[in-house]
Amino acid sequence: MFLLNDIGRIKSFIKSGIANILPETGKQSRIILNERSFVNGVKHFQMPEKTHISVRDLNLYIQNNHILKNINLDIPDKKITCIIGPSGCGKTTLLKTFNRLFESSADIKISGEVLVDGENIHGNKVEVTHIRKKMGLLSQKPCPLPMSIFDNIAYGCRIHGIRDKKQVKGIVEHYLKAAGLWDEVKDRLNTPAARLSIGQQQRLCLARGLAVEPAIILGDEATSALDPISSKHIEELFVGLKSQYTIVLVTHILRQAYRIADYIIFMYLGEIIEHGPAEKVLNNPQEKLTKEYLAGIFS
């Protein structure tokens, strides 16, 4: 069994980049560290699967407050990754660095890299709208555009230059079906989107996000504002979609992480405390903070 100060000693060993250490746990699981996983001396799981997003030394300051501290992680391709942690720990902020939704604020300073498909999206020459197209964002509060249902989905086509009416119609139908909304709204595509129920609106936002054909879906507490039935709907959709998209979800509902996550990232006060495959982190957390969070000592 690990003792707390043993963990501390081993951590500092690793940080100084000295050795390969094979710690033993009572349960015989091994944490294998090798050279490849020493990036700036920080402990790092080697991804068995393909990585879609890599974050390297990301630091973010809002008005000189250090919000994200030395983030280093890999997000696996075509899996559901859940970022969990207590309120205010920077989960949403981290998510927003993925689609660069911080542009307008002048008080934000970012250093480090976020690599998507190997390309640093925070680089100077990168075209922002191109990045955002790759990422579909589903917010906590469903935000239908002030238009009809049809136009909401077609908006994506409009801004990216797809004008052919037949094509647009096809896209709208396809993605409404993908979001599980088609049957409910097919007769009233031209009515205002604001009249839908909140669960339907969230599915509409999902369809809208899918219609621009992203590679990655980002969800920021996507079911927190919904009733249980709609939440379940959305979760099922995510599970269904992960075969085609990489999904990163921020959630403070631990149960949700237990239900659908393939990969977990636990954050606390702007730092990554622990990350790894879901079964490992949720059932056998290594860090004290993780254990406490999972046990409900703080949330």
Partner 1 sequence: MLAVTVLSLCIAIVIGVGLYIKASPILHEKSLFNLLGNSHWRPFKGEFGFYPFIMGTLWVTGIAILLSLPVSLLTAIYISEYADKRIRRAVNPMLDILSGIPPVVYGVWGVVVIVPMVADHIAPHFVDFSTGYSVLTGGIVLAIMITPLLISIFDEIFFTVPKELRDASLSLGATQWQTIKFIILRKALPGIVAAVVLAISRAFGETIAVLMVCGNIPIVPKSIFDAGYPLPALIANNYGEMMSMPMYESALMLAALILFVIILFFNAISRVVLIRIEKQFHL
Partner 2 sequence: MKKIIEEKVFKVLMIITTLVILSFLFFIFIAILRRGIPAMSWDMISKIPGGGFYIGKEGGLLNAIVGSIYIVLGSTILGMLISIPIVIYINVYLPSRSALASAVRLSFDVLFGVPSIVYGAFGFTIMVFLGLKTSLLGGIIAVSMLIVPILVRSMDEVARVMPRDMLDAAYSLGATKYETIKVVLRQIAPGIATAVMLSIGRAIGDAASVLFTAGYTDSIPTSLNQPAATLPLAIFFQLSSPVEQVQDRAYAAAFILTMIVLALSFGARYFSRKFSKNKI
The residues of the shown chain that bind partner 2, judged by CB under 8 A, are 127, 129, 159, 161
From 46-54, 56-64, 189-197, 280-288, give the range in contact with partner 1 by CB under 8 A: 189-197
Residue 296 gets which letter from DSSP?
T
Cβ contact 85:267 at 8 Å: yes
Is 174 one of the binding residues for partner 1 (CB under 8 A)?
A: no
> In the complex with partner 1, which residue's Cβ is closer, 19 or 194?
194
| Distance of alpha carbon 145 from alpha carbon 194, whole angstroms | 8
Binding partner of 65, given partner 1, partner 2, none, CB within 5-8 angstroms per partner class = none
Number of residues that bind partner 1 (CB under 8 A): 31
Taking the complex as a whole, how short is the minimal distance between the CB of residue 159 and partner 2, in angstroms? Answer: 7
Q: What is the CA radius of gyration of the chain?
A: 21
> In the complex with partner 1, which residue's Cβ is closer, 102 or 182?
102
Taking the complex as a whole, how short is the minimal distance between the CB of residue 160 and partner 2, in angstroms? Answer: 8
Is 145 one of the binding residues for partner 1 (CB under 8 A)?
A: yes
Using left for φ > 0, alpha for ψ between -120 and 50, and beta otherwise, residue 150 falls in: alpha
Is 204 one of the binding residues for partner 1 (CB under 8 A)?
A: no
> In the complex with partner 2, which residue's Cβ is closer, 18 or 128?
128
The H or E element spanning position 20 is: none
Burial-class residue 229 by CB neighbours within 10 Å (0-12, 13-18, 19+). Answer: exposed
**Lookup result for tokens 């997003």:** 53
| Strands 263-268 and 80-84, bridge-based pairing | parallel
Is 192 one of the binding residues for partner 1 (CB under 8 A)?
A: yes
| Distance of alpha carbon 223 from alpha carbon 251, whole angstroms | 8
Binding partner of 161, given partner 1, partner 2, none, CB within 5-8 angstroms per partner class = partner 2
From 135-143, 228-236, 263-271, 280-288, give the range in contact with partner 1 by CB under 8 A: 135-143
Within residues 55-114, the interface with partner 1 by CB under 8 A covers 99, 101, 103, 106
Burial-class residue 259 by CB neighbours within 10 Å (0-12, 13-18, 19+). Answer: middle
> In the complex with partner 1, which residue's Cβ is closer, 133 or 259?
133
Taking the complex as a whole, how short is the minimal distance between the CB of residue 214 and partner 1, in angstroms? Answer: 9
**Lookup result for tokens 């490849």:** 36
| Strands 80-84 and 65-76, bridge-based pairing | unpaired
> In the complex with partner 1, which residue's Cβ is closer, 148 or 251?
148
| Distance of alpha carbon 143 from alpha carbon 54, whole angstroms | 29
Binding site for partner 1 (CB under 8 A): 99, 101, 103, 106, 129-130, 132-133, 135-137, 139, 141, 143, 145-148, 155-156, 158-160, 191-194, 205, 208-209, 212
